[in-house]
Amino acid sequence: MWDKMETPTIVYDLDTSGGLMEQIQTLLAPPKSDEVEKRSRKLVRDVRRSGRATNHDTCDSCREGGDLLCCDHCPAAFHLQCCNPPLSEEMLPPGEWMCHRCNVRKKVSDRCFEKRRAAWKALQEASA
């Protein structure tokens, strides 16, 4: 009985011309212009040069979310009251803001640089 039954043939229409698929593929296709490609490469380079990843979504001090102040030198983010020292909106500096850790690193780095520069100057004066 099973031998005599025919299996129905399913025919799929794979013709994508004139449909939405062409429009979708056009939108997803990479840019064809060299100028656009050069601009996108420059954007990627500029992003890589920024020196930091995106900032954290939670406060690095209390681990809660909310309105966060983001460090411009590392991924850290803090509530104003969780900063060291705590800040108010009136105390926010214009422009870049560095967290306590980045401020300490910068001060240590600046001191090391000054010591090296003084040692180099003393060495030059001694050899003259």
**Could you report the per-residue pLDDT of 47-70, keeping only the tens digit for each?**
444 445 689 999 999 999 999 999
**Could you report the per-residue pLDDT of 8-51, keeping only the tens digit for each?**
676 666 655 566 777 777 777 776 666 555 555 555 544 444 44
Of 83, 32, 77, give the one whose Cα is nearest residue 52. 77
- What is the mean pLDDT of the segment spanning 75-83? 93
The answer to whether residue 94 scores a pLDDT higher than 60 is: yes
The answer to whether residue 84 scores a pLDDT higher than 60 is: yes
The model's pTM is: 0.49
Of 56, 61, 75, 68, give the one whose Cα is nearest residue 92. 68
Domains of the chain: 69-127 (3.30.40)
